[in-house]
Amino acid sequence: MTTPTLRRTTKSRPRVLRQALQEHTRAAYREAILTAAERIILRDGYQLAKMADIAEATGVSVGTLYNYFDSKEAVLNALIEHHRARFQAQVEQPFDSDDPLIQLRQLISRAHEFAEQNGALFNLYIRTKGNGHESHNGSNSCVVQDSDHERFSSQLKELLHRGVQTGRIRDDIPIAELVWALHAMMQTLILDWCRQPSGSSLRQRGDELVTLFLEGAGKR
């Protein structure tokens, strides 16, 4: 005789499977939309890109596209968020050395390498956020950029602090000022590279920048 508990478990299985398949299908559609959207936005530019073009490139109807994203801006924000997650995963990989200054150089190298590998979209991100566009949920998109800045700054601060503790970084300048100076140098380099991304290697120039910074910040 089948117990009530067993009957409930058996009946619930198809519903669970259907839900899992639906979630998997929805995730696959969303990934396909973002892949197509990136191609269209980079080809036509954000302002000229149309939801209809994204739908066509994805192979879905416009109505289906709006079931996933309610606006072109929502698509762009999701696309940027996807790449932000990839960026964090890349820069937060384990380091190859316990030396804080080698780790500092490697951290910055990874950031510049990511920007270089995703140059077109990275450039678009800088231009779009710099123009003060708002995210689809009504909050200012610069908040996202500020959180990235703070997270990266915390990583720099920790490595420089360890450099001071090990006697490799001078202790007569507050670490907050050292972080500010390094960030300012990096931002200037990236903005210059965004104007001419094919002119030189961002990663190589970034490594030279770190060398110059450490010559000034190093323990004397």
- pTM, to two decimals: 0.71
> Can you give the pLDDT at residue 103?
95
**HEC profile of 85-131:** HHHHHHHCCCCCCCCHHHHHHHHHHHHHHHHHHCHHHHHHHHHHHHC
The Cα–Cα gap between 34 and 54 comes to 9
| Tens digits of residue pLDDT in 158-215 | 999 999 999 999 999 999 999 999 989 988 888 888 777 666 788 899 999 999 999 9
Q: Is the pLDDT of residue 102 over 90?
A: yes
Measured distance between the N- and C-terminal CA atoms of the chain, rounded to whole angstroms: 84
Q: Which residue has the tokens 């995210």?
A: 135
Tell me the backbone φ, ψ of residue 169, rounded to 5 degrees: -120, 140
Q: Is the pLDDT of residue 133 over 50?
A: no
Q: Is the pLDDT of residue 132 over 50?
A: no
Residue 188 corresponds to which amino acid? Answer: T
132 — alpha (psi -120 to 50), left (phi > 0) or beta?
left
How do the domains of the chain map onto residue ranges? Answer: 1-69, 71-220
Q: Is the pLDDT of residue 51 over 80?
A: yes
Q: Tell me what the pLDDT averaged over the chain comes to.
A: 80
| Tens digits of residue pLDDT in 107-117 | 999 988 888 88
| Tens digits of residue pLDDT in 16-40 | 666 666 666 778 888 899 999 988 9
Q: Is the pLDDT of residue 6 over 90?
A: no
The Cα–Cα gap between 176 and 157 comes to 7
| Tens digits of residue pLDDT in 56-84 | 999 989 999 999 999 998 998 898 888 88
CATH architecture of 1-69: Orthogonal Bundle (1.10)
**Tokens (6 digits) for 137:** 């949920």
Higher pLDDT, 189 or 146: 189
Cβ of 89: how many Cβ atoms within 10 Å?
10
> Can you give the pLDDT at residue 200?
74
CATH superfamily of 71-220: Tetracycline Repressor, domain 2 (1.10.357.10)
Lowest mean pLDDT among 4-8, 121-125, 168-172: 4-8
> Can you give the pLDDT at residue 127?
60
